[in-house]
Amino acid sequence: MDMNKNAPLLETRDLKKYFKVGGGTLHAVDSVNIRLYQGETLGVVGESGCGKSTLGRTILKLIEPTSGQILYDGRDITRLGTRAMRPLRREMQIIFQDPYSSIDPRKSVIETIAEYMLIHKAYPSRREIMDRAVELMDLVGLARRYADSYPHELDGGRRQRIGIARALSLQPRFVVCDEPVSALDMSIQAQILNLLMDLQDELELSYMFVTHDLSVVKHISNNIMVMYLGTCVEFASSEELFASPLHPYTKALLAAIPEPDLDSREKGFQLIRGEVSSPINPKPGCRFAGRCEQCVSQCHERTPDYVETAPGHFVACHQVNGR
């Protein structure tokens, strides 16, 4: 695929999203910088509460950023209002984690898939929209016999295929996949992941794939960003991250991946000890310091710089960077 590496489809610059809460200010997304190119997948991983889903929703402007910039196809969309964003909604879509809660239980499969096309008047007539909805069912591998079925009559895998078809109905270029397989059985997860990769190749889609499971993004992602309490602690290509993880948190996440090999028991298990620090009014220093066995005094005193340690491999850790 011929892609212009000098022109990212999506870019964020020092993007922040804070929430006012009872105890102060919650730093959900704190100074995140990413670049995503056409036809590629950026995996965003981290444990629950790290801000990865908030990052995706902020980029889509489902929630407004506190500061920083969001550039889409070279255009700064950070401060665009609802009306100005409406044409871009066609190009920027989201697949939600829970396929059942994200679709209207009162609408049939065909009506759900047609929903966005009806709102945006994507085709001149309702008949053309419904015909296109049937084509989308074929595209995502959903049998036409389910067209008049309702969500409660289908299993999780088929519901997620409905969500994917609806997200693709307006022919987007960029899709946030917000833990799209975490609520599914393992065998169904593999089917959905393969479907997403096939659709990406066919439609030249760009994905931000949000998950807490590194094993899920290993093969689907070109690059992976590891988040911890709103910040990016490591970024590298998928191959580089799995071969040479640098940040202690990344190493712990990789060690937690189950391996179907009895010999792997001899490798041991790396346990992350301690309590997660509060993202409300965070103090200077590394936010992982309280749980890191390699922690030294400066980890509590100064926020680590985000440094490129090898071409395309960035990490924020005093111990790794030696500063």
Reported as a single tens digit per residue, the pLDDT across 177-226 is 999 888 788 888 889 999 999 999 999 999 999 998 888 888 899 999 99
The order of strands in the sheet holding 10-21 is 24-36, 10-21, 67-72, 75-76
Instruction: Please name the residues in contact with 194: beta carbons below 8 A apart, sequence gap of 6 or more.
Output: none
pLDDT band at 260 (very low <50, low <70, confident <90, very high): low
Higher-pLDDT residue of 290 and 268 is: 290
SS3 state at 197: helix
Contact present, 45 and 226 (Cβ < 8 Å): yes
Is there a contact between 204 and 1 (Cβ–Cβ < 8 Å)? Answer: yes
Considering only CA atoms, which of 249, 248, 183 is closest in space to residue 216? Answer: 183
What does the buried/exposed string (b/e) look like for 21-41 if buried means 16 or more CB atoms within 10 Å of the residue's CB? eeeeebbbbbbbbbbbbbbbb
In this predicted model, which residue has the larger pLDDT, 276 or 5? 276
pLDDT band per the 50, 70, 90 thresholds, residue 2 = very low
Q: Locate 82 and state its tokens.
A: 């609802």
Q: Is the pLDDT of residue 25 over 90?
A: yes
Write down the pLDDT at residue 167. 95
The answer to whether the predicted template modeling score (pTM) of the entire model surpasses 0.75 is yes
Confidence of residue 1 (pLDDT cuts 50, 70, 90): very low
Mean pLDDT of the chain: 90
What's the confidence (pLDDT) of residue 182? 83
Nearest to 230 by CA among 13, 16, 60: 16
Residue 263 has pLDDT above 80, yes or no: no
Pairing state between β 24-36 and 10-21: antiparallel
Confidence of residue 5 (pLDDT cuts 50, 70, 90): low
pLDDT of residue 4: 47
Instruction: Identify the three-state secondary structure at position 233.
Output: strand
> Is 262's pLDDT higher than 60?
no
Q: What pLDDT score does 187 carry?
A: 81
pLDDT score of 295: 85
